[in-house]
Structure 1
């Protein structure tokens, strides 16, 4: 391979260029590359990474966001002691675990818009199954909807992960992740508020179900999310503010993409050290939603907890996303500090959870908290802390992966591995909860997995994360040499990269 200067970024430009930015950077012609000025503010162009990320965030706001709102209340809002939701989610995540490994392949072949639209429709069907179950007790449809969503969600999250990690410049990756997480979790917050409003007067025990109108509203919102995905543009047309474009593989085939999936493990075996973090990242949801929120609170207080949980996620994503991009500290140092902070948080938050879990068992639940009870304050703070911790964990994992590479094809496969392994863990723990394993056992398994996976991932923080990713590292993954790429008929632009 011919050596090139690491201080230049190699990107594909396929259209004539013109200047419409104050900095003088040349951009292609067309409405989607024009910035909009409103008073003293200049909004990014439609084809900018910022605009595309916001659109993807609202797709997830309307689809996975509503999914989180439904599941966050515990037992998906049903009154069947979590049997139906555990069956559906076990099927969902087991399917997701398989599909996730190949979702990057599917996303690269289908493209962002089709992948996100297909994924969004699965969420609509999933919510409809709970409406059906609430009326007819049809368990078969609930399980089928879980299987379908497992297929759809794997593709949606792979597409989302590739965008979130590869679109931003290196120095803004944490910020982009936090922007996404804030908008995405606002969906769950709004969903929680809807549940709270519809169930405000319900002070019965945990067996009270949410209203059918809640599910109808969520069905409409998830369908709108699937439709919104068609407003996105293809990644090859997205251009950053400095004029650079996304590194893409040309004209992928099914064969080359499937081989590329395994090549990720062959050329980047260090990603295996992050697999335990992937596995742990959804494991604790079952405990928090079913074994804390559903087990200890009445229906209206569960709705309030659900809203506060996702609000805390927004706060956690904002704090960690911007901290991870703090420009006065080297990226290698930020990675190590993030690891230390997460390790301390793991023992602080889950240590508090241990004190709370000791107060009840699955066989001996001492009534159900209402927000008017004098003892509600402590559990409320704990549940908010769980939400903050989850956002911090997910933001750090995405940032770690995004710090390793800028290649969108590789990152799509990283995201596929992440969601696949994550879902394998979720499938197992939902099944364990279905078998009614002791609450303490599920709690301890969550805590041990989180702490242990941080220890296993430490070598990646110390060795693989650099202050910037050399262009050779990104191109090495594509089986193309610099001569091969330079010999293609497209025009290429060399420009200064974003500094970490």
Structure 2
């Protein structure tokens, strides 16, 4: 190694395989944000995935979700700036608490059947979700090593969606002997609230990006704080950024299909206990999809741009096949009497076909969103920039969700919803190809990434946990 002041610098710590488990390593921090999302959005997904929030009448859940995604659309865009100002701990902790309130509102609804609390709680959750997901996006896309972003995205997605798997078991087990029940019992909502409260506590362990050290000694960002004026200007510029405009169709489509899948496949075709079981496999499929696409986007070809092209193509082909299967299923059930719900104990293709379709929808969701996150992560490497990009993505995504839930409230036909979902995802693929072609370089340094300060001295101190920044 070189010398400075006539003395040789201490050698960098060896054993990089062991070093990844440092508290201030990208691996540890991405694992922690995965656990936060396991407990909060993961459980929320399980709750939503039952169709109607676990109620026989989906109207309250539809209206609550419309309020949720309306505020989410605003605070998703603003969330990146808020994250840059307040840092991860306060931003994520505040966001997590709103999930607890939302689950509690359905516990209240289970007894009194008043929509107002659920709708207000949904609007508050939209604010909190905007904060949480902007922080999550910044951490997931900027903390990992540049050449392994797909792998870390799949790590996060697997942990996060394990929440949906466990969350799906809660209503399945607690309502197992209630095959003809109209709505889930109180214990289901209380179980969700316990997990969500744990997620809020875990969020306090997340380190700010300036404290996270990669194995090569580099930091995720040199920025330790921002200010309101800077973030307001930068957020406004996102709406004129051609890269973000190319992402808009994919962002809009990426949660739009949940309304159809949850309410008109899982909710319409299956009884209550089977919906919980289906969600175990739906979110389990997401884990498989994220791992597969993560490997593809990191290891399949030496060229990063080529990996992007191949990944988008494969997701596009698979998506076309799955939506075609959805069309065949919808034609079969379009005019059928859906008062008799399918049960997991039913034999034959009556249960197997819709079950495999719902599983496939989960697989596609993870592959589609992991692919989009990888593209966003390839546009820059700095936490400050990527928090804004991720916030913009979540904001547009949430605006689409708000529209989708309200469309369902107005009784738009299932077939129309399916066709719109299929069409929007199809349009997004060529636009993402154009974005990869124009903006993703094989040189991992993005043009938009600000100059980095020279790496700190490679001594043991940068790998040690700062006693002021959390638990070891």
Structures share fold, TM-score greater than 0.5 = yes
Checking the alignment, whether the CA contact within 8 Å between 2:158 and 2:290 is kept in structure 1 is yes
Using structure 1 for the length normalisation, give the TM-score: 0.86
3-state SS, counterpart of residue 337 of structure 1: helix
Counterpart CA distance in 2 for 1:251 and 1:106 is 10
Partner of 2:13: 21
Using structure 2 for the length normalisation, give the TM-score: 0.91
Partner of 2:293: 320
Checking the alignment, whether the CA contact within 8 Å between 2:87 and 2:225 is kept in structure 1 is no
The aligned runs of 1:277-288 (5 Å cut-off) are 277-288=250-261
The aligned runs of 1:12-411 (5 Å cut-off) are 21-22=13-14, 44-79=21-56, 81-204=57-180, 208-266=182-240, 268-326=241-299, 328-361=301-334, 364-365=337-338, 367-373=340-346, 374=348, 375-411=350-386
Q: CA deviation at 1:270?
A: 2.1
Counterpart CA distance in 2 for 1:263 and 1:42 is 39
Q: CA deviation at 1:203?
A: 2.1
Partner of 2:5: none
Q: CA deviation at 1:452?
A: 1.1
1:468 matched to 2:460:
no
Checking the alignment, whether the CA contact within 8 Å between 2:100 and 2:193 is kept in structure 1 is yes
Q: CA deviation at 1:462?
A: 1.8
Select the residue among 409, 423, 430 that pairs with 1:455: 430
Select the residue among 426, 434, 455 that pairs with 2:409: 434
Q: CA deviation at 1:247?
A: 2.2
Q: CA deviation at 1:442?
A: 0.7
Checking the alignment, whether the CA contact within 8 Å between 2:344 and 2:351 is kept in structure 1 is yes
Counterpart CA distance in 2 for 1:383 and 1:264 is 35
Counterpart CA distance in 2 for 1:277 and 1:141 is 32
Counterpart CA distance in 2 for 1:192 and 1:58 is 17
Counterpart CA distance in 2 for 1:494 and 1:449 is 49
Q: CA deviation at 1:349?
A: 0.3
Checking the alignment, whether the CA contact within 8 Å between 1:361 and 1:438 is kept in structure 2 is no
Q: Once the two structures are superposed, what CA deviation does each residue of 1:22-79 show, in whole Å capped at 9, x if it has no partner?
A: 16x9xxxxxxxxx9xxxxx666210001001111110110000110010111111012
Q: CA deviation at 1:98?
A: 1.2
Counterpart CA distance in 2 for 1:407 and 1:321 is 20
Q: CA deviation at 1:342?
A: 1.5
3-state SS, counterpart of residue 437 of structure 1: coil
Q: CA deviation at 1:248?
A: 3.8
Q: Once the two structures are superposed, what CA deviation does each residue of 1:106-144 show, in whole Å capped at 9, x if it has no partner?
A: 111010011110110010000000000001112110000
Could you say what the CA RMSD is over the residues aligned between the two structures, in angstroms? 2.0
Counterpart CA distance in 1 for 2:419 and 2:446 is 43
Partner of 1:29: none
Counterpart CA distance in 1 for 2:131 and 2:63 is 22
Q: CA deviation at 1:227?
A: 1.1
Aligned length: 448
Q: CA deviation at 1:380?
A: 1.0
Q: CA deviation at 1:145?
A: 0.3
Q: CA deviation at 1:494?
A: 9.4
Checking the alignment, whether the CA contact within 8 Å between 2:33 and 2:136 is kept in structure 1 is yes
Checking the alignment, whether the CA contact within 8 Å between 1:404 and 1:469 is kept in structure 2 is no
Counterpart CA distance in 1 for 2:189 and 2:415 is 32
Checking the alignment, whether the CA contact within 8 Å between 2:32 and 2:206 is kept in structure 1 is yes
Out of 432-441 and 250-259, give the one that drifted further: 250-259
Counterpart CA distance in 1 for 2:286 and 2:357 is 13
Q: Once the two structures are superposed, what CA deviation does each residue of 1:227-283 show, in whole Å capped at 9, x if it has no partner?
A: 1111122211110001110124354111011112223445x4222111100000000
Q: Once the two structures are superposed, what CA deviation does each residue of 1:361-413 show, in whole Å capped at 9, x if it has no partner?
A: 37843621111222211111111100000000010000010011102111111
3-state SS, counterpart of residue 202 of structure 1: coil
3-state SS, counterpart of residue 209 of structure 1: coil
Select the residue among 385, 390, 393 that pairs with 1:418: 393
